[in-house]
Every structure is written in C-alpha cells, then in structure tokens.
Amino acid sequence: MEKKVAPIENTTFKNIVSHAKEYGFVFPSSEIYDGLAAVYDYGQNGVELKNNLKNVWWKAMTQLHENVVGIDAAIFMHPTTWKASGHVDGFSDPMIDNKDSKKRYRADVLIEEHAAKYEAEGNLEKATTLVQQMARMLEKEDLKGVQELIISEKITCPVSGTANWTDVRQFNLMFSTQVGSVAEESNTIYLRPETAQGIFVNFLNVQKSGRMKIPFGIAQIGKAFRNEIVARQFTFRMREFEQMEMQFFIRPGEEKQWYETWKNTRMKWHKAIGLPERHLKFHDHEKLAHYANAAVDIEYQFPFGFKEIEGIHSRTDFDLGSHEKYSKKKQQYFDTEINKNYVPYVVETSVGADRVFLAILCNAYTEEITGEGEEQKQRTYLKFHPALAPVKAAILPITKKDGLPELARTIFEDLRYDMNVVYEERDSIGKRYTRQDLIGTPFCIAVDHDSLIDNCVTIRHRDTTIQERVKISDLKEILTQAVSVKRILELL
C-alpha cells in the first residue's frame, strides 16, 4: 500500500500542517498504519469548522436565493451517467514519469509551474505562449507534442534533477467498484468524481416537484472521489474530498450575463467569510473542459502560491443534452414566457469544502511576537471569523473553589443550547487562554470572585487580548450577536 508522502515546501505551511494535527483539526487517514496517500480525517475541531463553512455556503446559496434549492444525491449513480457526462472517455489527466526518480507528475502541471517561473522573472509573454501552446496540444490530444515541450523547455524532475522522461499518457481519474456479488464488467460502477451529475439527473424531478421556473438553481454538498496522480499540499489535493456545487439552469443565450453574476456573487462570499481581497483573484481558463464554453477559477494565495479554490463554469446544454441522448428521455423545459421548449443552459459554481477549509486555516494561523528582550513571547492563535470558529466561547472559573465553578457552570448551561461552548477549570487561567487561542476560540469568559458580588464576568477577546467586563445577564445576547452566521450573510 502506498504510504503517505506529503512534501511540505515552506516553513509557515509546515507549521500550519503540524498545528492542524496537534490541535485536532486534520489527521492523516489511518495513521497507525502510516497513513494513506492524499486521504485525511477531520478531527474534533476540524469537523466543527468544516460544518460551519458548509452551513454558511448552504445558507448563502439556498436561503439567500429564492430560486435556489438544495438536494442530497447518492454517491453511486447509474454507470451510463458517466458515459453521458464524458467522464468515462475524457476525465483523465496527462501523466509523465521520471525514469530516474520513478516519480509521477501531471504533465500539464509541470508546464504550468515552469511558465509560472517565467512569469515570476517578468517574462509574461513567454509564460503565456507556453501555456497556450500546451492547451492547444492537449485539445488535439497531441501527447507526443506535450512531451517534446517538456524536453525542449528543459523541465527537470524536482527529485532527480534529470530530464529523463517517459512518454505522456492519459490516466482516468475515476475510481471504480462492483455492485452486487458477481464481478462482471457490466456491474462496474464509479465513485462520483463530481457532485454535479447528481443534480443534472434530478433536474426534472426538482423542477416538477418544486414547480420551479427558469432561471433556478440546485445546490448540493457531498463527497467526490478522484484518483489524483500527484498527492500534494496536504488537503489541497485529496483522493476523497467534498464539493459544494450549484447548477443554475437558464435560458440559452443568457449564459454570459449569469456567468458574470455568479462570478461576482461567489467572489463576495469568499471575502465575506474572511479571506482578504489581496489573497484572492480570478484566473481565466486557457484549457476549457469538454463541457464548458467559459470557465474561471477563484484562486486563493496559499503559502505555496495562488491556487484554485472554486471553479465557475458556463456548461452550456452539454450535460442535460447528453443525458437526453443517452437516457432517451427529454430533459427540456417549457418556458411559458416565450412559449418555447428547450434544453436549459447551465452556469455552475463548484467549490471544494476542503480547499476553502485550508484557505481559512492558513489565513487564520497567526504567530505573533509580544514583549521585548527577556519578556519576549510568541503567541500563536487562529483568527477565525467568530461565526466559523469551532468553539465560540470558553467558560473559565479562575479557581476551582469558592463557588466559582458553580456559577461558571450555570453560565455554561445557559449558553450551550445556543452555541458550541466549553467549560474548563484545569490549569492556570493563562494556560487556558493559550489553549483556546490555539483552536481559535474568539471569546474566553472568566468568572472571578467579583462575579459573585457584581454579577459580571470578563470577556477576553482572542485577537486583541483586550478584556471587557460585562453583566452576566447581557452575556448571551452579546455572544449570540457576535457569533451569528448573519454577520457573514449580511455582507452578501
């Protein structure tokens, strides 16, 4: 079995990856057996953060758009789905092996990274020409040409340093398995490589049962599986991951306008969840997928560079048209406004829950030096938006006696039905603050002796460490406001 190898190229990123493990965000899968390449498990804090992210996406897409509804389709689908979608014949990546290091690479990624070097040197023209040349070759399935390009550009293997390359071959990324007990060819089914097809095959079910009028959208969150050639950069490229997708069904001819609308709507969402504008950008596709007539990525600047976190695609009527052909069932809509039947066009927004999670984690990770000389200390904390933070508040009696735990417990009991709070009485208050900083808890509530007399507690704010005295009777209202998802949704 392949072992987990995760070359981490940068110190900050390395720190983030070990922080994620040490504080219960992300663990390598089946680690006691040395892990499984490109598969990860979310820990006790990771799952809270991920659920909060998915919740914000779901609410933003469905609750805030009257014409978007959600579904939850199965991972297994009839195998003809993947014939119709083009995945059986076309969902592959060009791969190349280095004969000396025996390492496998995606040929297109090697060329794109090489072009990025030209760009970094200020040679934008050369970078663009190279990427366009590659895109043309891939479009024509000219794999020999791609190999020659790698050789003529003197691209070498980062491990062996040589240019001793094999031919370029196409490698299908779908995982297959068998249904039933007989392992015959006809029983082969696939683990879905994208959630989108579950939406397309349900287009008419939703349209009819919900009496939906075009334009309307169907949203879904779910697992997808791809046998990625190169497993790298932690949860950025996994073999089992989660997508949050929305297909927006429109009148043919209106795709440009809707493509622009969704591009901007989605960019706004990434800013609203706290990713800084300077770390986000659009990147137009050079090489369009078989189903798209326009495509753009939203990229986030990870410690290892600007990389795709979301794709927005104008998919035309490719998918519904193809399902109509393969299923021999009409996938059409009668538009009463124009008195016409047509196969709707689709604009899709597709974002990886794991990639946004990683972006949010990288952005939140903060190492701060405070004090001078001998007093100098390093403080590490995760500055998550309070609505996304795994734990919203920690209730901390400053001592374990004098009735303070009892009062703190009453506060905890009162809050736990409204938000995820923890109660802790072990160790000094300073140590407890540090533990909460490390998992990104925005508020620590200290209960002290004065609390018994003045009915007040101290709120310590994570990012500033500023402390504020508030009435216990006001606490729930203050915290509820501060951690509400509404604070993100209002920005959209």
Site residues, ligand ATP (CB under 6 A)? 194, 226, 228, 237-238, 241, 243, 308-311, 350-352, 354-355
Q: Do residues 221 and 242 lie in contact, with contact meaning Cβ atoms separated by under 8 Å?
A: yes
Closest approach, Cβ 105 to ligand ATP, in A, equals 13
Closest approach, Cβ 171 to ligand ATP, in A, equals 13
Which helix or strand (DSSP H or E) is residue 196 part of? Answer: helix 196-200
Q: Output the CA–CA distances (angstroms, integers) from residue 192 to 45, 241, 471, in the order listed.
A: 27, 11, 52
Pick between residue 310 and residue 319 the one whose CB is nearest to ligand ATP.
Answer: 310
What span, in angstroms and rounded, lies between the C-alpha atoms of 227 and 386? Answer: 35
Pick between residue 48 and residue 299 the one whose CB is nearest to ligand ATP.
Answer: 299
Q: Output the CA–CA distances (angstroms, integers) from residue 96 to 62, 108, 159, 167, 229, in the order listed.
A: 42, 9, 14, 6, 10
Question: Which residues are within 8 A (CB) of 455 and not within 5 positions of it... i.e. 6 or more apart?
Answer: 471, 472, 473
Pick between residue 46 and residue 311 the one whose CB is nearest to ligand ATP.
Answer: 311
First CA to last CA distance, the chain = 46
Which helix or strand (DSSP H or E) is residue 298 part of? Answer: strand 294-302
Closest approach, Cβ 492 to ligand ATP, in A, equals 20
Instruction: With H, G, I as helix, E, B as strand and everything else as coil, classify residue 51.
Output: helix
Write out the two tokens for 234: 């932690």
Q: Is 49 exposed, middle or buried (0-12, 13-18, 19+ CB in 10 A)?
A: buried
Closest approach, Cβ 306 to ligand ATP, in A, equals 12
Pick between residue 225 and residue 333 the one whose CB is nearest to ligand ATP.
Answer: 225
207 half-sphere exposure, CB direction, 13 A CA radius: 21
Q: CB nearest ligand ATP: which residue?
A: 352
Closest approach, Cβ 193 to ligand ATP, in A, equals 8
Closest approach, Cβ 339 to ligand ATP, in A, equals 36
8-state DSSP, 218: E
Closest approach, Cβ 421 to ligand ATP, in A, equals 31
Closest approach, Cβ 299 to ligand ATP, in A, equals 9
Nearest of 303, 223, 243, 235 to residue 42 by alpha carbon: 235
Nearest of 1, 55, 4 to residue 27 by alpha carbon: 4
Write out the two tokens for 142: 């000219």
Closest approach, Cβ 241 to ligand ATP, in A, equals 4
Pick between residue 308 and residue 463 the one whose CB is nearest to ligand ATP.
Answer: 308
Nearest of 364, 377, 338 to residue 439 by alpha carbon: 364
Closest approach, Cβ 167 to ligand ATP, in A, equals 22
Pick between residue 165 and residue 225 the one whose CB is nearest to ligand ATP.
Answer: 225
Dihedral class, residue 119 (left if φ above 0, else alpha if ψ from -120 to 50, else beta): alpha
Closest approach, Cβ 353 to ligand ATP, in A, equals 8
Pick between residue 78 and residue 223 the one whose CB is nearest to ligand ATP.
Answer: 223
Pick between residue 45 and residue 243 the one whose CB is nearest to ligand ATP.
Answer: 243
The amino acid at residue 349 is T
Write out the two tokens for 149: 């390009």
What torsion do the CA atoms of 434, 437, 439, 445 make, to the nearest 10 degrees?
90
Nearest of 166, 200, 213, 229 to residue 77 by alpha carbon: 200
Pick between residue 241 and residue 262 the one whose CB is nearest to ligand ATP.
Answer: 241
Pick between residue 238 and residue 382 the one whose CB is nearest to ligand ATP.
Answer: 238
Pick between residue 238 and residue 407 the one whose CB is nearest to ligand ATP.
Answer: 238
- Using alpha carbons only, give the angle 385, 388, 393 rounded to the nearest 5 degrees: 85
What span, in angstroms and rounded, lies between the C-alpha atoms of 1 and 271? Answer: 40
